[in-house]
């Protein structure tokens, strides 16, 4: 039995707690919050035996094996470093950090302490997405040359909310652009050339953006992200032998279709129970049991490279955050 702690009591922490309940080899042992009342409420609602009124107290619990960090973006680095210093393995919510410098510090500390660390890019572990990637790797599309990907939704405007406030790491890139950038990285690696444009809104964050990336062998990715505009949240991959569509919403897809150059389209349906967060937890526990310090599906060097790509994109926009 692997014993989990959750650092945060927000929406995504609640979703992760729900997912852990479906795993017989996982025990949600403790939760940490900055306030006693929210820790106690979370513990009651999710049947968590131990509730702490500080993050430090959670990290100090000697019975917790691994901690899931679901705090706002600007706190990821600080919280991860604190948990690693306390000797805990860590699954840190995406985006992994605010920038590559923070990500490097987190990775360095995990390696120094010989502790497991992974970015919680849960999409890679969703069964339909994982099956689609296996088929691509087996040559189902031939050579893949192009990707189009969009994660665009319209959020209620809230200048002080996490999506629009610069001090909370607001904007479309860190919140949802990371999904399409991570997917392109998974396929093509590190980009050689980046051209991007964004609309910077009144609060000073990117409200929508377009990113064009060129990779080592000439592969191309056309990616969009938005928190003020809605369009289909899907990914299309084009190869020499056909194209694959990860149907909306691609980040937790249960269906994908392969359309060959010749022949009829074939749709694969890969349903799952629950909210989907359990699959990344399963990967963490698999790695811990195998004695691995990082996941081969979401390796730390790739996480760092994705952060470097996002830094380069923001530099083209002239966008920095107050806490950098």
Q: Which residues are catalytic?
A: 94
CB-CB contact of 119 with 94 (8 Å): yes
φ/ψ region of 75 (left if φ > 0, alpha if ψ in -120 to 50, else beta) reads: alpha
E strands present in the chain: 2-7, 26-32, 50-52, 66-69, 89-93, 117-120, 144-152, 193-200, 206-214, 220-226, 235-239, 242-246, 255-260, 266-269
Give every CB contact of residue 67 below 8 A, 6+ residues apart in sequence.
4, 5, 6, 7, 58, 59, 83, 88, 89, 90, 91
């Amino acid at each position: 039995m692997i014993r989990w702690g959750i650092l945060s009591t927000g929406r995504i922490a609640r979703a992760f707690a729900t997912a852990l309940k479906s795993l017989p080899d996982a025990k949600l042992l403790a939760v940490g919050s900055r306030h006693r009342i929210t820790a106690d409420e979370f513990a009651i609602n999710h049947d968590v035996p131990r509730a702490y009124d500080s993050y430090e107290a959670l990290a100090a619990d000697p019975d917790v094996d691994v901690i899931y960090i679901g705090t706002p973006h600007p706190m990821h680095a600080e919280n991860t470093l604190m948990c690693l210093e306390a000797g805990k393995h860590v699954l840190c919510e995406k985006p992994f950090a605010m920038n590559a410098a923070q990500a490097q510090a987190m990775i360095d500390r995990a390696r120094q302490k010989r502790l497991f660390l992974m970015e919680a890019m849960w999409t890679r572990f969703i069964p339909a997405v994982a099956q689609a990637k296996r088929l691509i790797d087996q040559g189902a599309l031939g050579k893949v040359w192009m990707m189009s990907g969009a994660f665009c939704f319209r959020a209620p405007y809230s200048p002080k909310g996490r999506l629009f406030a610069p001090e909370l790491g607001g904007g479309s890139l860190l919140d949802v652009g990371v999904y399409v950038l991570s997917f392109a990285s998974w396929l093509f690696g590190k980009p050689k050339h980046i051209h991007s444009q964004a609309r910077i809104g009144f609060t000073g964050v990117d409200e929508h953006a377009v990113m064009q990336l060129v990779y080592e062998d000439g592969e191309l990715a056309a990616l969009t992200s938005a928190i003020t505009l809605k369009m289909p949240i899907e990914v299309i991959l084009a190869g020499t032998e056909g194209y694959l569509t990860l149907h909306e919403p691609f980040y937790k897809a249960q269906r994908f279709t392969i359309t060959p150059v010749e022949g009829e389209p074939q749709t694969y349906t890969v349903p799952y129970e629950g909210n989907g967060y359990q699959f990344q937890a399963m990967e963490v526990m698999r790695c811990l049991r195998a004695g691995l310090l990082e996941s081969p599906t979401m390796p730390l060097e790739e996480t760092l490279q994705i952060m470097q790509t996002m830094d380069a994109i923001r530099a083209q926009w002239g966008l920095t955050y107050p806490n950098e």
